[in-house]
Amino acid sequence: MLYLFQEFNPYAMKHLYTLVLALLMLNSQATHLMGGDITVAQLPNGEHLVNLTVYRDTVGIPMASMATFEFSGPNGWNFIRRTAYDSVVSGTVLPMYPYGVEVYFFSDTVNFPVAGNWHIAWQNCCRNGAIQNLANPLSESMYLSTNIVVDSVVPNSTPFFLVPAAIYLPLNIAWQYNPLPFDPDGDSLVWSIDRPLDDSAKFCLGYSTPPSAPSNPLHLDSATGTLSWTADSIGHFVISILVEQYRNGVWLGEIRRDMQLIVVPAGHGFPYWSSFNGQAPRDTLSIDVPANSPLNFELIASHSDTTRNLYMDAYSPLLLKGASNASFSVSPTGTRNDLKGRFSFTPDASQAGKRHIVVVRCSDKYFTNDQAVRINVQSGIGLDENQAQSFANWQLFPNPAHDHFYLSFQSQEQEYLELEVLDLEGRILKVKRLEALRGANLLEIDNANLEAGVYLVRIKASAGVLWSSKLIKS
């Protein structure tokens, strides 16, 4: 309350008392929402299943039993649907956190009246007053939304997240989290860190990037989707993970995951990755495997406190129901409290040229730590046949950019490439021929002729599209 006293003069105590009392009443009525997301899946009969997932802590008032979905479509189409949460699985207290964190699921089947771009939203008040990177979180609603292009002919579902949300992370220790967005239609995904929303097209007031150690600021790996952060301040912070969906360069929708992250001292230690196939793990792990050849990799998780139990799990589209050519198992190593996770995968010929991401999570029921492994499937003949595998470590910066941006990457050979800049409707606005040299490349791209907005940058070679990324022009 010291902050409030600094805002008023000593002659306004009556008004101050009224304001403090109002804030205390508001806090007692807050739902303490911690995060969530909305996804949409197209059903075989052409209808769409809308799913809302919401996380809350048990300190606030109970979760409302009904959710109101707001639908806004083309040509002024608008309607509202109300649905109750799934009473069988909703309200479950998540097992891997030190105090009550509940999850609720709301689902509704919708038949969209017309094709086009639909915006689906849900909101509820209020956020946790302890959030430090918002100006006034107790007055901010949590606004979750998704956009999907509904086509009467071509099926389309939004992406969804495979990895459960993470909440606690340690002070002054490097930490990783990967939500692993996956698109069931095989569309291209571009993900980024965004500001949380309070209302449609309205960001929460006073948002600031959560504080970080200079050596590891909060950032998202564009290749794997891993969020990395070394937090240097204790407290509650909120961010959004924005995932945009493209098909052949055409924007088809987006989802966002709103997340509250709690930074606490690591007094009881922290789980970490101590080995990857017998070697020290790196931030980005990548493996090449020929089609029809078995792949196995092992990750060992350790804990700085050898008396604490460890838990491990893996997430990947390869491990979804029906993907019988991949498996994951966990076993103790016999050394201290270490655990070993073993992933096995035999890609068939149809997967040649594809890339897969496996996220392995270790936890001590307090902190979680994720490690992403990228699997590059090649043909059985060799690397030279798959041109896309000759390039790696793509980065575009700065982003947002003003008059120019830089493109950095590694190339195994000299090659001529083509850079395209497209708007979100798929129109090509800029084409530039690039020469990639063997080894590290750093190229400066002029974008002064583009208006402020959001664009898609993609790199093409004779093998097709090698890489794509979102570009924000400031």
What per-residue confidence (pLDDT) applies to 68?
96
pTM for the model: 0.74
Nearest C-alpha neighbor of 401 from the set 470, 459, 465, 468? 470
Provide the phi-psi class of 39: left if phi over 0, else alpha when psi is between -120 and 50, else beta: beta
What per-residue confidence (pLDDT) applies to 283?
67
pLDDT profile of the chain (474 residues), mean per 10: 28 32 36 86 95 85 89 96 90 73 92 96 87 91 94 91 90 95 89 88 91 92 84 95 86 92 92 90 79 91 93 94 84 93 91 86 93 82 49 83 85 84 82 83 85 87 77 86
Maximum alpha-carbon separation in the chain: 83
What per-residue confidence (pLDDT) applies to 341?
97
What per-residue confidence (pLDDT) applies to 64?
86
Domains of the chain: 31-264 (no CATH), 271-378 (2.60.40.10), 387-473 (2.60.40.10)
